[in-house]
Amino acid sequence: MNILEVHHLHKAYENHIALQDVSLSIPKGSIFGLLGPNGAGKTTLIRIINQIIDRDSGEIFFNNEKLQSKHIPFIGYLPEERGLYKKMQVWDQLIYFARLKGMPLQEAKTKVNYWLDKLEIQSWREKKIEDLSKGMAQKIQFIATVIHEPELLILDEPFSGFDPVNAELIKNEILELRKKGITIVLSTHRMESIELLCDHIAMIHQSKLILSGGLLEVKRKFRKKIYKVILEPYGDLEVPKEWKSITADNQMIFEVPLQEKSPNVLLNEMIAIGEVQGFSEIIPTMEEIFIQQIKSHSYE
Amino acid sequence: MNKVFLVIQREYLARVKKKSFLLATILTPLIFPTVMGIFLWIAVGEEKGASLRIIEVVDDNNLFFLESRDQYAFSFSKVAIDEGKRQVQSGERFGFLYIPKIQLDSPTGITYFGETNPSMTFIADLESSLKRRIEEQRMMESGIDPKVLDAYRTRVSIQSITLDNSGNEKINDATINYGIGFFTGILIYIFIFVYGNQIMQGVIEEKSSRIIEILVSSIKPFQLMLGKIIGIGAVGLTQFLIWLMLIAGVSSIVIGYFGMQMPQQTAMELASPAMTEMSNMNINNDYSEIIQVIGGINFVKIALTFVFYFIGGYLLYGSFFAAIGAAVDTPSDAQQFMLPVTIPLLIAYLGLFVFVLDDPNSNVSFWLSIVPFTSPIAMMGRASYGVPFFDLALSMSLLIIGFLSTTWFAGKIYKIGILMHGSKVNYKTLWKWIKMD
């Protein structure tokens, strides 16, 4: 089941088109990676989902209902550019954000206490944001995003601006929230976090959706059918020209294209030549796919 | 609606809880009396401390006599002009007044020498003393006794009474009406500027610290703007209320203090009844008239009118300030958009003095008090004199329509502006934002 479905979304600004016929589905409970270079239209898409700006055309469904203002409490949003009231105390601030999302006062108090305990920062509750260090403020920022227990959490570049310790903390919190059944949308350039966290991805480039689906599915789609073989030949080996030799550490390593054969046939051929110490498919990284996709679509 | 209330609450508490609010609230009403006090103190100290200023007078006519004052003494002599000048230069004398032989019908050539530039009041004072003396002399020459003329001098004062349709009479005193109109008009003017600026600062703060995107993912921009305007307005009203209470408290203490002194004064008057009888009658007359005038003013009506225009004017301009804050990135960028706010406010302010308080029923006064951009300030100038019901109703309904439409326009600019960073905004872009749907 999809928590969010976007159909044929279109949005134009005065001077440029931000989104063109974008459709995607975000499965419930997934961690969904939203990729794309700067200015591709990611932030516009996220703002439309958050009902900050209006769409020109297209439909959005949240839990199979047309998206409307009553869904605001079910969505949490950490924008790329973020901030807090500098002169406001931590406690007041978190209560305010929780209540703006429609949480009753008593429940908000309980939740704020829960998070302050969990991150072991109860002693900060009466501190003003301007008196906190940047890293401390980042934790408060994260709490403010999740305090109302949204079903859908949208994090725009969550790791940018966070120091490594806090980035790790956020990563663990994301995984924990997923365990609770919360769906998370990650918009980021950092491909390694996509590989690590996401199970679904969508790629937007020049206002169009150019790729979407499950992470493995997408990777399979872009496999080059090349196998990495670690081989110790029985005798002198005349390396075929389509093999790429990357010998290292006294091991002979080859990148061998499959060429219409099945992997088993290839493996049998290898066994005949020498002792096979390693045999695995080379799967492209998200980064490679990303760069390749951007390049190929840019020349269209 | 619930969310608007949350924003109002936050904006209100964030300001009222600040120490600077408490300080400003208590200190502001004291600033004016304090400044006055300091000036008085300096002036008194100066008068006491200053050595008597002696002015040498040489009168070739042997006609003039100038009475010495607190600060000036006049010494008459027959020194030569050069000697008189020398005395001033050497500091023996503060000034030197030379009156040559003059023709009484065209006195010319009277000269004052001083080391410093004399004050205008001092010269005017000298001139009027000499003038009086010359006039007396000329009367004597034509056989009129100045004392007889004095006896003919009569004081006339006209009591002005307004009649309303039902035949009620009301004594007016333009000074009191003027005072009320002046004070309430200025108060609204200051209030709009001070609190309008706070709205603008608040919007810029939310925009530049990037809280705005988090806020608008929870609440509609229009609700946020409305909450901010109302919340800050409530802060202003609170401050105003505290001032009223302070003034009431202080004046009751003052009245109580002087009330205690009254018996002493009456006792003194009893001691010399004949002397005070006449002046007392005068005072009593003045008092009863003032009390009648004050009684004739419909304070409830003026207070209600004031509250209406106070709030209406604030709301009308408040949304402007919010829109300006949303359109810019820093307070210094806001300057370029301040003109549409400052010009009508200045027109209203100047109009209040030049036209409305001078003649509340002139055509200019009418229009100033009807147009929503100037009415909050200008109408207060008319309200204190009494305004026809039709004018008031028209002006009030236009003000309501006015602030609803400025809020609507401002909302459109606000909605788009708050998410724009680093882009150059001018009036053309603002107009485009308004036209967008």
CB within 8 Å: A84 and B14: no
Name the CATH superfamily housing domain B52-152: Periplasmic binding protein-like II (3.40.190.10)
CA distance B326 to A214: 41
Do A275 and A180 sit in the same domain of this protein?
no
Q: What pLDDT does residue B273 have?
A: 47
Distances (CA, A) of A13 to A17, A60, A67, B191: 6, 19, 22, 39
Is the predicted pLDDT of residue B229 greater than 90, yes or no? Answer: yes
Q: What is the mean pLDDT of chain A?
A: 87
Q: What pLDDT does residue A300 have?
A: 54
Do A175 and A48 sit in the same domain of this protein?
yes
Do A228 and A177 sit in the same domain of this protein?
no
The answer to whether A223 faces chain B, any CB pair under 8 Å, is no
Q: What is the largest CA-CA distance in chain B?
A: 94
- Domain of residue A176 covers 2-86+142-220
The answer to whether B211 faces chain A, any CB pair under 8 Å, is yes
Boundary (domain end) residue, out of A194, A220, A246 = A220
Do A157 and A29 sit in the same domain of this protein?
yes
Model confidence pLDDT, tens digit, residues A254-283: 888 877 888 888 888 888 888 888 888 888
The answer to whether B219 faces chain A, any CB pair under 8 Å, is yes
Residue A109 lies in a domain: no
DSSP annotation string for B291-346:
HHHHHHS-HHHHHHHHHHHHHHHHHHHHHHHHHHHHH-SSGGGGGGG-HHHHHHHH
- Our count of domains for chain A comes to 2
Is the predicted pLDDT of residue B276 greater than 50, yes or no? Answer: no
Residue B267 binned pLDDT confidence (cut-offs 50, 70, 90): very low
Model confidence pLDDT, tens digit, residues A134-189: 888 888 988 999 999 899 999 988 887 777 888 888 889 889 999 999 999 999 87
Task: Give the residue among B140, B200, B260, B147 at the shortest CA–CA distance from B413.
Answer: B200
CB within 8 Å: B14 and A88: yes
Alpha-carbon Rg for chain A, nearest whole angstrom, is 24
Do A153 and A276 sit in the same domain of this protein?
no
In chain B the first and final C-alpha atoms are separated, in Å, by 23
Residue A200 lies in a domain: yes
Do A180 and A74 sit in the same domain of this protein?
yes
Is residue B95 within 8 A of residue B56, CB to CB? The reply is: yes
Mean pLDDT over B382-388 rounds to 82
Question: CA B12, B14, B19 angle in degrees (round to 5)?
Answer: 110
Do A205 and A237 sit in the same domain of this protein?
no
Do A268 and A191 sit in the same domain of this protein?
no
Do A146 and A276 sit in the same domain of this protein?
no
Do A193 and A232 sit in the same domain of this protein?
no
Model confidence pLDDT, tens digit, residues B151-208: 887 778 777 777 766 666 666 667 777 888 888 888 899 999 999 999 999 999 998 8
- The helix/strand/coil state of B391 is helix
A-B contacts at Cβ under 8 angstroms? 57
Task: Tell me which range, A231-235, B22-26, B41-45, B146-150, is most confidently predicted by mean pLDDT.
Answer: B22-26
Q: Where are the domains of chain B?
A: 52-152, 173-263+279-435
Q: Which run of H or of E encompasses A27? A: strand A17-27
Residue A189 lies in a domain: yes
Residues of B in contact with A78 (CB under 8 A): 214
Is the predicted pLDDT of residue A57 greater than 50, yes or no? Answer: yes
Do A200 and A229 sit in the same domain of this protein?
no
Do A37 and A146 sit in the same domain of this protein?
yes
The CATH number for A207's domain is 3.40.50.300
Is the predicted pLDDT of residue A6 greater than 70, yes or no? Answer: yes
SS3 of B19-85: the string is HHHHHHHHHHHHHHHHHHHHHHHHHHHHHHHCCCEEEEEEECCCCCCCCCCCCEEEEECCCCHHHHH
Residue A297 lies in a domain: no
